[in-house]
Amino acid sequence: MKQGIHPKYQKATIRCACGNTFETQSTKGDMQVDICNVCHPFYTGKQKIVDTAG
């Protein structure tokens, strides 16, 4: 790969609104998401309303 043109690939902590956190790697760094595999209705089988508007 050509040096100096690619963004830095670093460890990132992803935090969900439900409180779940996990580690991955990303060019963006730490992130916060509204829904993840722990609280998503498709994976849990439960319907849950998440108010993201505030």
52 within domain boundaries:
no
**Which residue range forms the structural domain that includes residue 38?**
10-44
Partnered with residue 22 across adjacent β-strands are 14
State pTM to two decimals. 0.66
- For residues 20 and 38, the answer to whether their CB atoms sit within 8 Å is yes
According to the model, what pLDDT value does residue 48 have? Answer: 64
At position 12, the amino acid (one-letter code) is A
Strand spans (E) along the chain: 10-16, 21-26, 31-33
What's the CATH number where 31 sits? 4.10.80.400
Number of domains in the chain: 1
50 within domain boundaries:
no
Tens digits of per-residue pLDDT, 11-49? 999 999 999 999 999 999 999 999 898 888 777 787 766
Greater confidence (33 vs 2) lies with: 33
**Strands 21-26 and 10-16: what pairing?**
antiparallel
Per-residue pLDDT band for 54 (boundaries 50, 70, 90) equals low
